[in-house]
Each structure stands twice: as structure tokens, then as C-alpha cells.
Structure 1
Amino acid sequence: MASIIKNRAIVNDDWTVVRPAEDGSLPAVNDLPAGKVLVPLALWQAEREALAASRGAAEIGVWLAPDSEPADIVADFDKIALIGVDFPVFRDGRGYSIGRLLRERYGYKGELRAIGDVLRDQITFMFRCGFDAYALRADKDFDDALKAFDEFSFNYQGAVDNPSPLFRRREAGELGKVSA
């Protein structure tokens, strides 16, 4: 069974990510693998009722492509167990914005998982944007990736994990003596 990092721990991944075929076609609901599935937004939008009828909310997740509009899934938060955000290549950062929008603007409280080309170097920044689960590339070391959470003592900017910028935290006495 594959593993993921979830809530800063390595755990078994019992979800199957469903991808479109090479020609872009989506699988039929009856052709989906058994168990928990993370389906593309397009499949969810086309087959929402059939997916909901064939599985419970605990077994359905939806993943968003970098060009997806996160607002399109807001009405369905209660019908899905998790939202994945695809990072197709390391240099595509649109998923960070999707994560922040889901958490800050739309108030998503469930699992937010980074999928695709997820590398150790991105984990700290993904965490700051609201991600709490990471499906690393198969060729990456999970134990090494866990160290990314502790690489920085302080962050200057506010983000999902701590909305106050450093100067506000310092003013409030939350940091003690900090040298910049």
C-alpha cells in the first residue's frame, strides 16, 4: 500500500487517484476501482448523483487541476471526504492559490491533499497555504520530507497557518526577543 504524509505523520494511503485517459476521456462510474476514490472535478461535475449513489461521502474525494475554479466545489463540501489539488509539475504554483482560497475564502475544513509532482521543497509552503496531506512522488524519501516542517523557526508573512505577520506577533509579545 502506498503512503502519504498526513498531519505531519507517514500513514497508509487508502485512496486511489483517478486520472483521465490519455485522450482526456473520463472513466464511467461503474469502471472506478473499489474503495475510496479521488476523482477529477470534471467527473464529479458530470456524475455527481451517480457517484453519490454508488458510494458514501466518506469514499469520494475530488481533485482540482491548476486551472480549476475552487468555487465550483464549495456547494459540495458536505458530500466529499477530501479535496486534492494537483501539482502536475514542480514549477506550477497555481495549486498554492487554490489551497489558500479553499481555506481562507471558502472555509474548507476537511483534508486538503497535494497530489502530483509533490516534492520535499514544497511541503513547508503547501502547509502554510492550508494543505495537511501530501502524496509525495514515489521516488522521494518520506522521512526526509518530514524534516521540511521544522526548517524555519519564523515566517515573516502571514498565511493560513498563522495569519499574523511577524511584526504583529512581535508587537503582541508572542515571540520574545527575535533577531531579524
Structure 2
Amino acid sequence: MPRIIKNGAIVEEHGPEVLDLEQWLQSEDRARRAVVLEPGETLAPLLEHIDDIPLVLVNFPTFMDGRGFSYARELRERGYQGELRAVGHFIRDQLTYLSRCGFDAFQFEDESELEDALESLGDFSEFYQASADQPQPLFRRRA
């Protein structure tokens, strides 16, 4: 079992079976299976079933591919409440931004990075702009 960062802690991954988008759409038992999104795929088919998906994994083929940030934000803004996990090639320095977009779990290619990555989630104590994890900008929160 791989180890991941989930909800601010390092845990053993015990998630549901993971299918690619096409397999997931063909599945009769979607509510018990996770779906992985690849860059360039559309979110539209997921939005019809947003309340039934236990886990969405978003693949980052390279740390420079930012489409996953947009997927996360759109899913959260559309009401997705399940686990949203970043997988693939992202870097420790991106974790704060990934979590601000709505990711609550992170699966690194190299598990030896987990301890340092977990620490990085506390690098910033306050944010000026609004985001998926804090819908009000700082000036509104201080009013």
C-alpha cells in the first residue's frame, strides 16, 4: 500500500478501485470506484455524478502542467465533497497552492519526500486572495 498525505497527515492509502475516465463511465458501480483524470480530459461527464464519486485522482504528468489546478478548483466550486488527490509529478513547493485549489490528498512518485512535503503545508499562515479553501479574501475576513 502506498503512503500518501491526506487531510494533513501521512497515511497508508486504502482507497477504492481506481479506473480511468472511460472505464469509470462504463462502470455499473461508480459510487464505489475512483476515477483518475488525465490532462486534456473534460470534467463534464463527472459533473452529472458529482455526489456519487468517492475519490477523484488528478494526474500531473509534469510539475509544469497546471491543468490539474483548474480541475480541482472547478470540481470544488461545483460542489464536489469527496477526496481530491493529486498524483504524479508535482513538487513540494506546489502543495500549498494545490491545497488552496481544493486538493486534500497528495500521492508523490517518491514517498521519501512525504515528511518534508507535509511540513511545507504550513509554510504560509495567511493568504490575501480568495480560493477554494478560503472563499473570502483577507480584507473581507478582517472586516
TM-score if structure 1 supplies the norm length?
A: 0.74
Given that residues 50 and 79 in structure 2 are in contact (C-alpha distance below 8 angstroms), is that contact kept between their aligned partners in structure 1? no
Paired letter, 1:57: A
Structure 1, unaligned runs of 5 or more = 16-35, 173-180
Distance in 1, Cα, partners of 2:112 & 2:128? 29
Question: How does 1:1-180 map onto structure 2 within 5 Å?
Answer: 1-15=1-15, 36-45=16-25, 47-49=26-28, 52=29, 57-58=31-32, 60-104=33-77, 106-138=78-110, 140-170=112-142, 172=143
Q: Which has the higher contact order (CA 8 A, sep 6+)?
A: 2
Larger Rg: 1
| Structure 1 position 139, deviation (Å) | 5.2
Structure 2, unaligned runs of 5 or more = none
Identity %: 46
Distance in 2, Cα, partners of 1:161 & 1:57? 25
- Give 3-state SS (helix, strand or coil) of 2:27's partner: helix
Distance in 2, Cα, partners of 1:168 & 1:12? 38
Distance 1:157 1:141, change over 3 A: same
Given that residues 118 and 135 in structure 1 are in contact (C-alpha distance below 8 angstroms), is that contact kept between their aligned partners in structure 2? no
| Structure 1 position 71, deviation (Å) | 2.2
Given that residues 85 and 115 in structure 1 are in contact (C-alpha distance below 8 angstroms), is that contact kept between their aligned partners in structure 2? yes
Distance in 1, Cα, partners of 2:75 & 2:109? 23
TM-score if structure 2 supplies the norm length?
A: 0.91
What root-mean-square deviation, in Å, do the aligned CA atoms of Structure 1 and Structure 2 show? Answer: 1.6
